Structure 1
Amino acid sequence: MASNFESFIQRGCDFIHNFACSACEEDGLNTEAQHFCNQCTKYYCDNCVPVHNKLYKRHTVLDRKDVKKWAAAPGMVDVLERCERHPGEALKLVCGDHDQLCCHVCVAVDHRQCSSIQHIPDVARGIRKDPGFRQLPQQVAVLRKQIEDMKNDRKKTSSSLRKTRTAIVDEIKAIRKKINDILDKMEKTTVQELDRLVAHQEQSIKKDMESCTQMHDELKNIIDDIQSKDSSGEPPLYIGFRKCEEKIKHANEILQNMSNVVKYNITFRKHNGIEGNLSSMETFGELNESTVFDKQQLISLFPRDHVFGTKGYKEYNVKMSSDKDKCDIEGICELPGGEFVITDFTNMKVKLLDQEYRVVEHCDVPEYPFDVCHVGGNEVAVCVNNNKKKRHELHFINITKGKLVTTRKLSFTHECKSAAHHGNNLYISSHTALYVYTMTGQLVKKLYEDKSGDYTVRRIAISNEGKTIYITNYSNDQLITLDNLGNKLATFTDPDLLRPYGVHATTAGHVFVCCFISNTVMQVDKDGKTKLATLAREQDGVYRPKDLFFSSRSSSLVVGGEKDTLLVLNRR
Structure 2
Amino acid sequence: MASNFESSIQRGCDFIHDFVCSPCEEDGLNTEAQYFCNQCTKYYCVNCVPVHNKLFKRHSVLDRTDMTKWAAAPGMVDVLERCERHPGEALKLVCGDHDQLCCHVCVAMDHRQCSAIQHIPDVAKGIRKDPEFRQLPQRVAVLRVQIEDMKNGRKKNSSSLRKTRTAIVDEIKAIRRKINDILDKMEKTTVQELDGLVADQELSMKKDMESCTQMHDELKSIIDNIQSKDSSGEPPLYIGFRKCEEIIKQANEILQNMSNVVKYNITFRKHNEIEDNLSSMKTFGELNESNVFCKHSKISLFPRDHVFATNGTKEYNVKMSSDKGKCAIQGICELPDGEIVITDYKNRKVKLLDREYRVVDHCDVPEYSWDLCHIGGNEVVVCVNNNDDRCELLFINITKGKLVTTRKLSFTHRCYGAAHHGNNLYISSGTALYFYTMTGKLIEKLYEDKSGDYTVRRIAISNDGKTIYITNNSNDQLITLDNLGNKLATFTDPDLVGPWGVHVTTAGHVFVCCRASGTVLQVVKDGKTKLTTLGRKQDGVYAPRALYFSSRTSSLVVGGWNNTLLVISVR
TM-score relative to the length of structure 1? 0.49
TM-score (norm 2): 0.50
